[in-house]
Structures are given as structure tokens and as C-alpha cells.
Amino acid sequence: MLIGEVARRSGVSSRMLRHYDRLGLVAPSERTDGGYREYGQGDLERLLRVEALRSLGLSLAQVGEVLDDAASAPAALVPRLIAQAEERIARERQLLERLRGIEQAGATDWQAALEAVALLRGLGSEQAIDRQRAALDAGTGSAVGGAALAEAVLGEREQNVAGALRWALAAGDGGAALPTLAAALASPDVEVRRRAVDALAELRGEAADAALRTALADADAVVRGRAALALAGRGDPCAEPALVAMVVEGERDVDAAEGLAALAVQTGPEPSIRHLVARLDGADAEVRRRIAQALVELPSEAATAALERLALDREPSVALTAKAALRR
């Protein structure tokens, strides 16, 4: 077949076929009676292999290497192609994030768009100091949207940078970040859930509170505890069971006791005292001692009665803690 017929049947343009010919990838190997070069069956089969290999993402140079190397096998090539594809996907995702950031910024001119791009690039920098600087810039009236900041804080491992990002969220459009942060509470990665609850703790409003209440049921004690402490600071009684559990389990028990005290201002101390005392039965000495310490934060007749009981405890450390509490 002549070049025009090959182009029509294969879908490869005549221009590309000539390019293949110049590169030596697919060259017409036969001639017509009139002396014109034409493609034989072997040439057509090679052309199909070229197009198949190109569809896998190989460059023309790589295609030539594969076709000319009889010993070439997919097992040696495919892992490299997978890595290249993953790199391309990562670049495309980064581009998509930048475009979404510009869209959220509502940039009205190219100067504003470029400023948004610069900040987004800073947030994606490999250098922690650059990310922190970008986060601080984002919290001082930057056009970068809350969703972009939320994505950044969920992936941030450096504590100083994460703190700057949470500050930027609280100072800016936290509402735009809420859907991303709330969705992250369902992540299989516990570190992502912890970062999400820390960021939500900096935001105010019923939507943020609702997300934090969801976190109270998390499988991870750290996530539950951070959500409970945040809600306690807002006077939300939903936090009380988790705070009692923190005292009993020794997970930030001092902070949990202070959280119970903060809740007592809203609900009175009796519910927390009742639940703490209920956990004394069968508890070991260390748990009883922590409960005695927590009762100090809930001054009332009920707390005094419980401490008097603990002052007679058979374990000296528990009895001494309760007696000291009673003197206070």
C-alpha cells in the first residue's frame, strides 16, 4: 500500500508516517512496478506495534529501542512506565490544585492570579520554612481559599507549619475548609484524622461543632480526646463521656479533668461526678488516684463525699491524693 492508503486505514497521518520513516521506525520496504515505495505486510505490523507502544506512554526513542531489541520484555519496561505515569498524574493533580486555588481566590486579573499561584507553590514546597511563610501570608488577607489550606494542613507533618496553617484557616475563610476537613475524619490514615480534628478545633460555628461530635466516635483515642477537649471548651455536654474515659484511661487525664470543670459551668458538676464515681468499682489503684485528682476540679458535696470514701482507700497513694484534695 502507498502512504495515503496506509494513513487512511491506520488512522496515522501521512505527515506522521513520513516522520516515522525519517526516524527509521517504520520505513516502506517494498516498491511498486512504477518504482514508488510502498508498505508491505511486515511494515504494517511494525506500524501497529509502534502505535501500541506509544499508547503506553513510550517516547519514540523508547519505541525504537524496544522494537530493535529482540530480548526486550514487558517485565523490564512496565515498572518504569508505571513510575512515569505516576509522576505525570502527580503533576496533573498539582496543576489541578493550583487551578482550583485560583478559582477559589476569585482573581479578577492576572496579577492576583499569579499571587495565588505563588502562595500555592509555597504551600507545596519541600522546604518547611517556605511552607510556613506561605501559611502566614495566607492568613493575612491572602486570596488563597480555605479548601487549599485544608488540603495543605491535612498533609503537613511539621508541627510549626501545621500550626501556621491552622491559624490561617481560623483567620480566613474557615467555612470553605469545613467540607474537606469533615471528610478527612473518615480517612483510613489516623494521622490525617488527627490533623483534621486539630484544624476543626480552631474553627467556630455549628458545622465545626458537628464535625467534632462525629470525631468523638473515632477508633483512635487521640482523635476522640482532641475532639472532646475542643467541645468542652465550647460547653458542649456531648464531650463529657469521652472526657471521663480519658481520666480513667490516663489519656491527657489532667486536661480532661479541666475540661470536665469547664463543662460543669454549663451543666453542673453532678453528671461528671456520678460517671467518675461509677468507674471506681473494680478499678485499679492508678485509675482510682486519677479519679481522685479529677474530682478536685469539681467542687461540690458529691465530690467531697467521693473523696472522703477514697481517703479510706487501701492503697496509700490513692488515700493520700484524696486527703490532699479534701484539704484543698
Over residues 225-269, the pLDDT tens digits come to 999 999 999 999 999 999 999 999 998 999 999 999 998 888 888
What does the pLDDT average to over 86-104? 70
Q: Alpha-carbon Rg of the chain, whole angstroms?
A: 33
Rounded alpha-carbon distances, angstroms, from residue 13 to 2, 17, 76, 107, 117: 13, 6, 31, 41, 38
- Residue 107's pLDDT band, with cuts at 50, 70 and 90, is low
Question: Which of 36-42's residues contact partners 24+ apart within 8 Å by CB, and which partners?
Answer: 36/2, 38/1, 38/2, 38/3, 39/1, 39/2, 39/3, 39/6
pTM greater than 0.75:
no
The rounded percent of the chain whose pLDDT value lies above 90 is: 36
Per-residue pLDDT band at 122 (split at 50, 70, 90):
confident
d(C-alpha 25, C-alpha 190), whole Å: 51
Strand 30-31 to 37-38 pairing: antiparallel
Closest among 323, 251, 267, 262 to 293, alpha carbons compared: 323
What pLDDT is stored for residue 131 in this prediction?
Answer: 82
Per-residue pLDDT for 105 more than 90?
no
State the pLDDT at residue 94.
65
Backbone angles phi and psi of 101, in degrees to 5: -60, -40
